[in-house]
């Protein structure tokens, strides 16, 4: 297909999810590429990832959403190089005066120093402990974590304080932090969710271009499980008409790898994500594009997305009910319905510091 007018013709885009870089919704001006009439060739250049640094003033983000199982989270990064075209977090990049399209996966922001800020926040006398979620907006184990180690910084603080945590990721780099996660899991303080959308390696490479392969994510489940870290497989998002037929296979493979729990979420297309997903469907799987969009409209009351609490995660109607029933039956068959114990909050305590009076007993 022709390059969209938001991309310069000499720009070479490789292994990215979005196909354009439309201007963010808060911008006063819209930028497009036009031919200036000068017949001068431009040197081709590869679109590379750029990481900028933000000095965080706060670490914990709170929410009051009734359909989320947590009320606080920490986000080490803004934007995500994994480049999942369907990512519901893409619209947040508009708040940075950047595009939810290619900017979201190529113009990232790392937040080093967030560990110290987090320690100050959880160290306040008024702080009430509850599990903190990591990876709820963008993936804390995206490729730039290898260099910036912001997620590692956060984990070290939470481990020192015996603070309960739950991680959501597609990144196999989570294995790097087993030295922290293993003892926390042994005390009932940590669990990990690994997201698997499809087991089709070619489809995954197009949908989630810079994520570890599905096979590598299954290997991460196995290694975490063998280390004693409880793992939940997240069949999310379920893309009706494209990946929904794989649900049972994914659950079986994850259970064989050691997963002890499972969950699913319907594809969500808020704001700028809807046109990005439509464009991807028409370019990458044109024979299925209309089927996927029709199914989405069926589960969202005639719209491609319904943001209402209680409906946004699953949708409603016959297709939503069918997926939910299939999921429940598969979980029962695979033994993934055993309730998981709550993460412990009673061990939370200020770590000993030099000069502190130590207890005798």
Give the model confidence (pLDDT) of 277-325 as tens digits.
999 999 999 999 999 999 999 999 888 888 888 788 888 999 999 999 9
What pLDDT, on a 0 to 100 scale, did the predictor assign at position 306? 85
Tens-place pLDDT, residues 234-259: 999 999 999 999 999 999 999 999 99
Residue 286 lies in a domain: yes
Beta bridge partners of 232: 193, 261
In the numeric block, the tokens 């201007």 are attached to: 23
Tens-place pLDDT, residues 122-170: 999 999 999 999 999 999 999 999 999 999 999 999 999 999 999 999 9
Question: Which residue from 234, 269, 351, 305 is spatially nearest to 89, judged by alpha carbons?
Answer: 269
What pLDDT, on a 0 to 100 scale, did the predictor assign at position 61? 95
Residues 6+ apart with CB under 8 A from 39: none
Angle at 218 (CA atoms; ends 109, 49), nearest 5 degrees:
20
* Domains identified in the chain, total number: 1
CA 153, 156, 158, 161 dihedral sign is negative
What pLDDT, on a 0 to 100 scale, did the predictor assign at position 335? 96
Q: What is the pTM of this model?
A: 0.91
What pLDDT, on a 0 to 100 scale, did the predictor assign at position 43? 61
What pLDDT, on a 0 to 100 scale, did the predictor assign at position 331? 97
Give me 143's structure tokens: 């490729």
Residue 86 lies in a domain: yes
CATH number of the domain where residue 315 is located: 3.80.30.30
What pLDDT, on a 0 to 100 scale, did the predictor assign at position 24? 77
pLDDT over threshold 60, residue 361: no
Q: Would you place residue 5 in the very low, low, confident or very high pLDDT band (cuts 50, 70, 90)?
A: low
What pLDDT, on a 0 to 100 scale, did the predictor assign at position 1? 46
pLDDT over threshold 60, residue 217: yes
Residue 33 lies in a domain: no
Mean pLDDT taken over the chain: 92
In the numeric block, the tokens 């290619």 are attached to: 102
Residue 348 lies in a domain: no
Share of the chain above pLDDT 90, in %: 78
What pLDDT, on a 0 to 100 scale, did the predictor assign at position 27? 77
Residue 340 lies in a domain: no
Residues shown for the chain: 361
Question: How are strands ordered across the β-sheet holding 231-238?
Answer: 60-62, 72-74, 132-134, 165-169, 190-195, 231-238, 261-266
Residue 350 lies in a domain: no
Tens-place pLDDT, residues 44-94: 678 999 999 999 999 999 998 888 889 999 999 999 999 999 999 999 999
What pLDDT, on a 0 to 100 scale, did the predictor assign at position 83? 96
Give me 260's structure tokens: 């002890």
CB 65 within 8 A of CB 31: no
Tens-place pLDDT, residues 325-352: 999 999 999 999 988 899 999 999 999 7
What pLDDT, on a 0 to 100 scale, did the predictor assign at position 220? 98
CB contact burial 295-324 (16+ within 10 A = b; e otherwise): bbebbbeeebbbeeeebbbbbbeebbeebe
Residue 354 lies in a domain: no
Residue 42 lies in a domain: no
Tens-place pLDDT, residues 172-213: 999 999 999 999 999 999 999 999 999 999 999 999 999 999
DSSP states along 115-177: HHHHHHHHTSTT----PEEESSSS-TTSTTHHHH-HHHHHHHHHHHTT--EEEEES-GGGGGG
Q: Kindly report the backbone phi and psi dihedral angles of residue 352, in degrees, each rounded to the nearest multiple of 5, phi listed first.
A: -65, 140
Domain hosting residue 77, numbered range: 11-28+47-334
């Amino acid at each position: 297909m022709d390059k969209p007018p938001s991309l310069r013709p000499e720009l070479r885009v490789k292994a990215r999810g979005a196909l354009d870089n439309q201007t963010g919704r808060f911008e006063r001006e819209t930028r497009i590429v036009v031919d200036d009439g000068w017949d001068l060739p431009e040197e081709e250049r590869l679109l590379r990832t750029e990481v900028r640094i933000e000095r965080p003033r706060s670490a914990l983000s709170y929410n009051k959403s009734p359909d989320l199982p947590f009320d606080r989270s920490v986000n080490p990064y803004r934007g995500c190089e994994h480049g999942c075209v369907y990512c519901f977090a893409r619209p947040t990049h508009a708040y940075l005066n950047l595009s939810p399209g290619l900017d979201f996966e190529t113009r990232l922001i790392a937040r080093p120093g967030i560990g110290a800020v987090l320690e100050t926040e959880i160290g306040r006398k008024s702080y009430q402990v509850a599990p903190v979620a990591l990876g709820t907006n963008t993936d804390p184990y995206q490729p730039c974590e290898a260099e910036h180690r912001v997620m590692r910084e956060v984990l070290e603080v939470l481990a020192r304080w015996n603070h309960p945590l739950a991680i959501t990721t597609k990144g196999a780099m989570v294995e790097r932090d087993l030295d922290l996660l293993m003892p926390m899991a042994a005390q009932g303080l940590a669990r990990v969710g690994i997201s698997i959308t499809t087991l089709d390696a070619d489809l995954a490479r197009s949908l989630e271009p810079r994520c570890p392969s599905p096979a590598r994510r299954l290997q991460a489940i196995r290694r975490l499980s063998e280390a004693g870290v409880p793992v939940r497989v997240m069949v999310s998002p379920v893309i009706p008409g494209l990946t929904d037929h794989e649900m049972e296979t994914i659950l079986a493979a994850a259970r064989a790898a050691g997963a002890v729990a499972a969950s699913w979420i319907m594809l969500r297309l808020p704001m700028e994500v809807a046109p990005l997903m439509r464009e991807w469907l028409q370019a990458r799987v044109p024979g299925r594009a209309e089927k996927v969009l029709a199914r989405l409209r069926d589960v969202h009351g005639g719209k491609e997305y319904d943001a209402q609490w209680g409906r946004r995660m699953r949708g409603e109607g016959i297709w939503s009910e069918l997926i939910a029933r299939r999921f429940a039956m598969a979980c029962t068959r695979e033994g993934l319905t055993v309730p998981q114990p709550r993460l412990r909050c009673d061990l939370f305590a200020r770590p000993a510091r030099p000069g502190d009076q130590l207890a005798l007993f």
